[in-house]
Chain A
Amino acid sequence: MISAWSDTSSYASTLPGVDVFHNLNREENLNVESIVDRFNLFGSQVRNILTDVRPWWDPTLWRAVLTPHLQLGSTVFDHDTHISAWADIVRAAEEANDPGKFTTFSAYEFTTSTDVGNGNLHRNVIFKGNQIPVRPHTRIDSINPENLWKWMDGLREMGIDSIAIPHNSNGSNGAMFDMQTFNGKPITQAYSEMRMRNEPLVEMTQVKGTSDTHPLLSPNDEFADFGIYDSRIGSFPRTYSFPSGGYVREAFLKGMVLEYSAQGNPFKFGLIGASDSHTGAGAYSENDFWSKIGIIDGTPEGRGSVPLSDLQASQLPQGGAGVSLTETDQGTYANTGFETWGASGLAGVWAEENTRDSLFSAMRRKETFATTGNRMKVRFFGGFETNKLDLNDENLVKAAYASSSTMGGEILADGEKVPSFLVWAQRDKHGAPLQRVQIIKGSVNQFDASPTEVIYDVACSNGLQVDPTTNRCPDNGARVDIETCAFSKDVGSAELKATWTDPDFNPNDRAFYYVRVLENPTCRWSTWDALRRGLAPRPDIHDTIQERAWSSPIWFVPTGSNELPAAQSMQSDLAEYIE
């Protein structure tokens, strides 16, 4: 739509209110100084004019209400552009699909957000096969994600299967994993089931930040300060996004708490990574990073990794726009939020073959993992016999599948038996060697559902041993030379493999376990940008990062956890007593 609005020869460009988009991409409008205007356009304007509904007496509005084309009711909606853009996407997906070599899916983004406050609720909707509805369900039809799920449910009944993958929960201001529904109603069992039926996966990491956890939510996680972008997505002026409700680890805990109070678990999802690129090309490598929007973050100056020229610094509007400048000895840097973005991420899927059916089924059963752009691989199994697996057995994977649940699955309680896990990670052959593998455990107490989070290092590089009092690996000594970005090549491991038994296990508590693999430190993209200009890295942002991978969790389900929980039965006892 936006390219149609900006093209002044199109019908769409004559629609009311879209004149701010006219000639958006003329040469004179393509510069760093346009950052604030563009934020404004894509932040506030798009949202405002999209929801600008025609007046009640306008026959087009009535057509919109009486036909399946609700979007016609918007003053700026051009139905032709909408339908033909979607047809183009579907055709491209069909033409490029090459089973066994390169699998493509027809997909689109449902770009919704909260009604007030700009909480990001974006989802990517991915269709399984080549039977595709004639038009996608969009935010003009409804901004409530539950209506998207209803639409998907309806299509599924007609044999058209799809999943939706929420992304950028970090910029949702707590709305993505809220303890209530979009309309502020309590979450019900039916809501949880509907959400899980349609959203088995969530995006863990992308260019606009990583959503594992936030230092404020996980104060004891010394690796939590990674890929933190805490602004609401598309907010203008840029506005802080409150962490709670925006991060995956906390959502897993919240889901179990909801389940404890018989509301079902709407957050029992697996994990993937993605770029969310707007340019058609994902920038996954720190040393070859072009961010994701195109014009305003396409240069090191624009994304704040090298100082602005004096002219740019004087022309960049500041203040209310959420854009500011930082003066340092090296010069003046732009703070647009881009400086905190990352070269991330990729989705890993364990599937039998590289075809639509096989990949889609694997995504449905959550046998997936996420990486920050590197191609690490990770296996994860859990069960009561998993620690008996022989790590040196040449058929280890086969044996693990036979005896254990894999990522995305469950372990059902069996008396007092204690679950054990197998983790196995392999490095990216072009990345740095591995530093450590961790298991992140979250559980909720059987008596009052109070949550706990613990991180265990389970395998250290170079044969180092985990310190049992801190649960951490000792420093392996790997370092980065900031002046050249060279990193220690002889320290670290090509693969890490271990079995681990939960030392603090309680068979009555709900729990989840997921793997985090950490590489040795390497240069961050901003350091590469500076290095190429012969400059020192910007002093007030991280100069190195640790690339990482996360598996989908395995959940532990206590006996009788589907029965009426203690809290509820007590309530009914009380009710009786009062009578």
Chain B
Amino acid sequence: MNAFWIILTGTLVATSSGLLGAFLLLRKMSMLGDAISHAVLPGIVIAYLVAGSREPLPMLLGAAGFGVLATVLIEMLYRKARLQSDAAIGVTFTGLFALGIILISAFAGQVDLDLDCVLFGEIAYVPIDVWITPSGLNLGPRAVWILGGLLVLLLLLLGLGYKGLVITTFQAEYAAALGVSVSFWHYLLMSAVSVTTVVSFEVVGAMLVVAFMVVPPATAFLLTNKLQHMLALTVLLGLGTALGGYCLAAWLDASIAGAMSVVAGAFFLLALLLAPRTGYRHQLWQR
């Protein structure tokens, strides 16, 4: 049963992150997910200090706030100070992450946050933390409920905002000419990325969020040219990654989050080498 809950959790994270990541990839902002997942750290620590415990809501707010702050800072460095975009991203997320570590060190006595946990979480503890109703009914792991809720919200957002997201992704100028607010969709996507990162982070850590956000969409991108196929493939790959990662971790007795990243990378490598028409094997054949 534990294995089931862990794989389900992994799949939920993979689906939420992957769907957002597909849009990040198409907007050429893959590293932004990485940046935000690091930059939310001070927000989480501050929320922890204010709330005094790991209450999910304050942490969510704190992290979402810093996620958006990071995006604003990056935009400001890029647009107002004309710093090249990769440097703007690098300066912002490392600075905020360093601030987070300093806050953890400064309030070491009051903050029960493990730095290793921040990076690669502890998905293995998911089945232990169950949600029991006052009447004593065991509803299963809390993380599954939270991540499931997040996924429903995201699917709602994607369903309702699909047109806006797609048009601002592929034809930003055309969208602007039609009067669609490009920056509204940008910040909406960024907020969704921040919230997803935070909700997933406690369970799987920042690194796995990044892995799920970038690697399955990139793999799917190599395999198809259609957005809807790409989204569907991303979800399937996420499921496969969660499953394979769990098995690998169980076999090696190693970090599940790490193993899932490795499996995601392995799928990517296969696609890179063997994809029909675009894979490396095909390129060699063409030569």
Chain A complexes with chain B: no
**B contact set with A: CB distance below 8 Å:** none
**A contact set with B: CB distance below 8 Å:** none
